[in-house]
Amino acid sequence: MSNRPLHFTLFAGTTFYNMTLSLLSGLFVFCLVTSITPGPNNLMLLAAGANFGVRRTLPHAAGVVIGFTLMIVIIGLGAAQIFQKFPVAHTVLTVTSIAYLLYLAFKIATSAPKSTHNRTSGTPITFFQAVMFQWVNPKAWTMALAAITVYTPQPTTNFHVVIVSLIFGAINLPSISVWLVLGVQMRRFLTTDKRFRAFNWTMSILLVLSLYPILNLQQIM
């Protein structure tokens, strides 16, 4: 495979250098692996799919994709420099992220079981809540920072940032949908309150455990 730079012509006579084929293929692999592997977003969508079904969870899924895509754009346009100028901001964000994820884990664990006769009760995460959640999601921060710092050519332009964010969004959507559909399929097994309670507690514990590798990776970066 050639490493010749790819060119994207937006206007006649104007050509923007983007990424080499090797860098672009690396970005695709990174997007897929990080989007489809377990993390706070995917585990919460799995639980939501099982508890609320596809239709009521669609705003949550849309908020994840759009929120994370916007997050990459904002970070790429300079938000990451805040942590370089004010290191304490990173500490505050980390503590806030852990506290909020622990709160969500508690809410999932203690949510009322959805019996076969009352599966429409409860309130799923809204679109806006899912968008805002990305900013306290440590895995989302790790993914976004790596996408901008590792998989964009230097010097990075706004055009590069937009391309990376669109690629991530395009791969992220089908990846998280796998977890949503898996959760919906599990409803066939979760036919009793006892099973629902055990499932929600399992999802809660896994959500807490998902913090460990993410926070370790943040320290390395």
For residue 185 the two structure tokens come to 């399929």
Q: Which residues, other chains included, contact 217 with Cβ-Cβ below 8 Å and sequence gap of 6+?
A: 142
User: Residue 126's pLDDT is what?
Assistant: 93
pLDDT digits (tens, 9 = 90+) for 153-176: 767 778 888 888 999 999 999 999
The DSSP-derived string for 71-96 is HHHHIIIIITHHHHH-HHHHHHHHHH
What pLDDT was estimated at residue 112? 63
Distance between CA atoms of residues 177 and 193, nearest Å: 25
For residue 9, is pLDDT > 50? no
pLDDT value of position 124: 86
Tokens of 139: 């895995």
Q: How confident is the model over 97-137, as pLDDT tens digits?
A: 778 778 878 877 777 665 544 555 568 899 999 999 999 88
Cα(86)–Cα(23) distance, integer angstroms: 30
Dist. CA 23–CA 171, nearest whole Å: 16
pLDDT of residue 59 exceeding 50: yes
Question: Can you give the pTM of this predicted structure?
Answer: 0.76
**For residue 219, what pLDDT band results from cuts at 50, 70 and 90?**
low
* pLDDT band per the 50, 70, 90 thresholds, residue 42: very high
Among residues of the chain, what percentage have pLDDT more than 70? Answer: 76
